A and B are shown apart, each in its own frame.
Chain A
Amino acid sequence: MRTALGWAFALIAALVMSVPQAAPAAEVSAARIQGAAGEPQNWLTYGGGYSSQRYSALTQITPANVKGLKSQWVLQDNVIGVWQSNPLVVDGVMYVTQRPNDVIALDAKTGKVFWQYRYTTSPDAKVCCGSNNRGVAMLGDTLYMGTLDAHVVAIDARTGTKLWDKALADLNLGYSITMVPLVVKDKIVVGLGGGEFGIRGFITALDPKTGDEKWKFYTIPGPGEPGHDTWRETDWEHGGGSAWVTGSYDPSLNLIYWGIGNPGPDWNAAQRPGDNLYTDSVVALDADTGKLKWHYQFTPNDNYDYDSVQVPVLADIAWQGKPAKVMLWANRNGNFYVLDRATGKFLLGAPFVKVNWMSGFDANGRPIQTPQPTGAATYPGNQGGTNWFPPAFNPKTGLFYVSAWENYGSIYRREQATYEPGKVFGGGGQSVVSPAPGTPTPGIGRKSLINNWTSETGNGAVLAIDPQSGKRAWTFPQFDVTEAGLLTTASGLVFTGGREGYVYALDAKTGKELWKAHLGGQINMAPITYAIDGKQYVSVIAGRTLVTFSLDN
């Protein structure tokens, strides 16, 4: 690790020689991650800090000057397919992944690449929903990446060489990792994907030096574990319960929070009677032991693939006049929730898009389900009111921001599914509700340069939700659907994008469009922001390019 003097020398040398130099990668201690809000020039974790608010204290770019943003550099990816990676920025160095499991370290000021690490993903890796990787985590001077063949690899952040590589599960059973691990104190916590293949999901904590397992929490409880009785007979063995995206952490409660995916088979709930815990739930785990402290299930006995593939957003807000530690959650099932994150108590639930699979909540916050007749439309549709793309929360406006799919429903088909190791365990299928019954509808993904969604089959929108009421403060509609995450800043901005290829800056209070740029490719992950030498940057990935903007001065 460099001394303060060393830093000063490097800076002076850089100035004197006026040779552009990126600072060498520094060490990211657990204490630094915990205090991430205090160093907004860096982006240290997936969610921009343990609360996963994607809120930055940087204020150089403001509603008044955002129109002056200019592209500074572009990194071109050469891998086909949507690019969902969330870059980290640590002391001037950016670490970003690209499909399937490459890591690139680059100068965050110029976009020039220092090194590239290529992991050889097994050709037998099974991925239900895209060969995605959402980025790396960092602890000390080591980067941690989950792989499509269900390994975690540790990589030296300075050299881009592998330190260790650990297989966490059998890829032949359909396990995979697309999420960014979460560093908690002296552990690397990671969850497994693969629910569409009838896995039994788990979250595990690893030793950062060796990759050895420290604890393991099965998202589907086995015999003798609490919640096991929500499964019939042996259904739990292939109960799914992926952990697709990163969790959050509250150091004051020493609790880790994680969203859990759908049960298996996806669409045939009749085949697995019971609540099917802890699928479609949020679980709160003791950070040291992985023991379950509490859970809340958003969609019991899910019939719709409404997995809780959202990152838990932690906020300290006033609740009914008193300061409260809450968790804010816009769920795939179309409802926005406020939970007490110390106890898991349900405080509020309200639909943020059209919902007809349930009619309301009972006193304990359990949804009153209203299944639609066979062949009728269920709202929200299979992709949900929102999905994996991360939302944001701005403590200054008090608003929660989320990309949503509006006016979008699905017609489900249900069948008996037979479990076969490594094969899709779906139990049916679904199609988008069309304007006139029986007419063709667009596919879910965008496969060409042409938008295939219209207002008749659903559209995207950025919503600002007031957690106090669960009601919308504003709506920013888009024509095509959107899979862009969000970033919000202390200066009152919200940054996002969508499938149409625009990156937007919106007024965080009103939703008014303040700036946009067309980048030509769909924006999937959320923009991030950071600063180097006093200059604030905003980076966003669109299509196969990563574009970084700043103000000219």
Chain B
Amino acid sequence: MLCGGLAVLAAVSGRAIAQVEDHGYSAADIQAGFKIYSAQCQLCHGPNGDQIAGINLSRQRFKRVVSDDDIKATVSSGIVSAGMPAFRFQPAELNSIVAFIRSGFDTSGTPFKLGDAARGKAVFEGKGGCTACHAPQGEGRFNAPSLSAVGAARQPVEIQRYILEPNKAMLPLNRPVSITLKDGRTLKGRRLNEDSYSVQLRDETLRLHSIAKADIKSYELGKTSNMPSYAGKLSDTELADLLGYLTSLKGS
């Protein structure tokens, strides 16, 4: 297991930012955790981890636990009064379970590392230059989605893929489009919606357009995202910190 060892005290980063550890989660651990979870936990917690009221394991919504060690302790001691039995797992098995939960139940088993959220915020606003496009807390006019609840909406590996390979992270619907109308005008922007007769987009100046397909001369779908790739541009630690920060953004 990859353990960063960069211990950052909770007191420094504050409880408001939930991610206080620096942990890497390997593909093998996540996959092994998935197996254990399917066999031992799914019956009560459900395939998406949301079957027990007030708890959503895949979205990191807990009643009491905060840290990875808290999760391990809960599994080992059980919450017998509430109906969760105590499990006897080896340390490696406990690490796997944590990795699977932290991955947001990502069954593809892509490895990732969650670093320090406070440092991640600094990367987001500083070196990463993310605020050139993304409103830091969902405020302001920006031509990119607000990230203020991205930690609740997306799995860590999805966020990681956005940062490293944005072209592979776009939903097909969200592709940039370039449309030439029969009257000669050209519109470029991000596709927002489409049906059999019309397409809706927002151009670079944030103007909204709804275009009848009957008026379109040519319609090009961009394959590349307007978000630049940060692969090779951030150190492993910076990436982990950024991920620690983004996964902590869960909306208000």
Using a CB–CB cutoff of 8 Å, the interface residues on chain A facing chain B are 413, 415, 418, 420, 423-424, 426, 429, 434-436, 438-442, 449-454, 456-457, 477-480, 500, 502
Q: Are A439 and B169 within 8 A (Cβ)?
A: yes
Q: Does B193 contact A (CB under 8 A)?
A: yes
Q: Are A436 and B196 within 8 A (Cβ)?
A: no
The minimal Cβ–Cβ distance linking B25 to chain A, given in whole angstroms, is 18
Q: Are B195 and A457 within 8 A (Cβ)?
A: no
- A178 to B57 CA separation, bound complex (whole angstroms): 32
A-B contact pairs, 6 of them (CB 8 A): A415-B38, A418-B43, A438-B161, A440-B171, A456-B172, A478-B195
Which of A423, A434, A438, A502 has a CB less than 8 Å from the CB of B172? A434
Residues of A within 8 A of B158 (CB): 440
Tell which of A429, A440, A442 has the most Cβ of chain B within 10 Å. Answer: A440
Which of A423, A442, A456, A479 has a CB less than 8 Å from the CB of B195? A479
The minimal Cβ–Cβ distance linking A245 to chain B, given in whole angstroms, is 26
Closest to A460 in B: B196
Q: Are B194 and A452 within 8 A (Cβ)?
A: no
Which of A441, A451, A456 has a CB less than 8 Å from the CB of B193? A451
Q: Are B196 and A440 within 8 A (Cβ)?
A: no
- A14 to B169 CA separation, bound complex (whole angstroms): 65
- A420 to B195 CA separation, bound complex (whole angstroms): 42
Residues of B within 8 A of A478 (CB): 195-196
The minimal Cβ–Cβ distance linking B213 to chain A, given in whole angstroms, is 9
Residues of A within 8 A of B168 (CB): 436, 438-439
Closest to A426 in B: B47
Q: Are B173 and A439 within 8 A (Cβ)?
A: no
Q: Does B229 contact A (CB under 8 A)?
A: no
Q: Are B171 and A420 within 8 A (Cβ)?
A: no
Closest to B47 in A: A424
- A502 to B194 CA separation, bound complex (whole angstroms): 13
Chain A binding surface, main DSSP class: loop
Residues of B within 8 A of A429 (CB): 47, 107
- A439 to B170 CA separation, bound complex (whole angstroms): 7
- A413 to B105 CA separation, bound complex (whole angstroms): 14
Chain B, 229-250, contact with A by CB distance < 8 Å: what is the 0/1 string?
Answer: 0000000000000000000000
- A11 to B64 CA separation, bound complex (whole angstroms): 71
The minimal Cβ–Cβ distance linking B52 to chain A, given in whole angstroms, is 14
Residues of A within 8 A of B43 (CB): 418, 420, 423
Q: Are B38 and A451 within 8 A (Cβ)?
A: no
Q: Does B192 contact A (CB under 8 A)?
A: yes
Residues of A within 8 A of B161 (CB): 438
Which of A441, A450, A453, A480 has a CB less than 8 Å from the CB of B192? A450
Q: By the criterion of a CB under 8 Å from any partner CB, how many residues of chain B are at the interface?
A: 20
Q: Are B173 and A440 within 8 A (Cβ)?
A: no
Residues of B within 8 A of A418 (CB): 43
- A429 to B38 CA separation, bound complex (whole angstroms): 12
Q: Are A479 and B47 within 8 A (Cβ)?
A: no
Residues of A within 8 A of B193 (CB): 449-451
- A477 to B195 CA separation, bound complex (whole angstroms): 11
Tell which of A429, A436, A457 has the most Cβ of chain B within 10 Å. Answer: A436
Closest to B51 in A: A423
- A453 to B171 CA separation, bound complex (whole angstroms): 9
- A452 to B108 CA separation, bound complex (whole angstroms): 22
Closest to A480 in B: B195
Residues of B within 8 A of A439 (CB): 168-170, 172
Closest to A432 in B: B172
Which of B167, B169, B173 has a CB less than 8 Å from the CB of A442? B173
Tell which of A418, A424, A452, A454 has the most Cβ of chain B within 10 Å. Answer: A454
The minimal Cβ–Cβ distance linking B155 to chain A, given in whole angstroms, is 10
Chain B, 179-211, contact with A by CB distance < 8 Å: what is the 0/1 string?
Answer: 000000000000011111000000000000000
Q: Are A435 and B192 within 8 A (Cβ)?
A: no
Residues of A within 8 A of B167 (CB): 436
Q: Are B194 and A454 within 8 A (Cβ)?
A: yes
Q: Are A454 and B195 within 8 A (Cβ)?
A: no
Q: Are B196 and A452 within 8 A (Cβ)?
A: no
Residues of B within 8 A of A453 (CB): 173
- A450 to B167 CA separation, bound complex (whole angstroms): 21
- A429 to B194 CA separation, bound complex (whole angstroms): 28
Closest to B191 in A: A454
Q: Are B194 and A440 within 8 A (Cβ)?
A: no
Residues of A within 8 A of B175 (CB): 454
Beyond A413-B107, A442-B171, list 18 extra A-B contacts (CB 8 Å).
A424-B47, A429-B107, A435-B172, A438-B108, A438-B168, A440-B169, A440-B170, A440-B171, A441-B171, A441-B172, A442-B173, A451-B173, A452-B173, A454-B173, A478-B196, A479-B195, A500-B195, A502-B196
Closest to B161 in A: A438
Residues of B within 8 A of A423 (CB): 43
Chain B, 103-123, contact with A by CB distance < 8 Å: what is the 0/1 string?
Answer: 000011000000000000000
- A491 to B82 CA separation, bound complex (whole angstroms): 65
- A429 to B167 CA separation, bound complex (whole angstroms): 25
Residues of A within 8 A of B170 (CB): 439-440
- A457 to B172 CA separation, bound complex (whole angstroms): 8
- A135 to B243 CA separation, bound complex (whole angstroms): 50
The minimal Cβ–Cβ distance linking B134 to chain A, given in whole angstroms, is 18
The minimal Cβ–Cβ distance linking A463 to chain B, given in whole angstroms, is 16
- A356 to B43 CA separation, bound complex (whole angstroms): 34
Chain B, 150-179, contact with A by CB distance < 8 Å: what is the 0/1 string?
Answer: 000000001001000001111111010000
The minimal Cβ–Cβ distance linking B55 to chain A, given in whole angstroms, is 17
Chain B, 16-35, contact with A by CB distance < 8 Å: what is the 0/1 string?
Answer: 00000000000000000000
The minimal Cβ–Cβ distance linking B189 to chain A, given in whole angstroms, is 15
Residues of B within 8 A of A415 (CB): 38
Q: Are B194 and A451 within 8 A (Cβ)?
A: yes
Residues of A within 8 A of B108 (CB): 438
Chain B, 85-108, contact with A by CB distance < 8 Å: what is the 0/1 string?
Answer: 000000000000000000000011
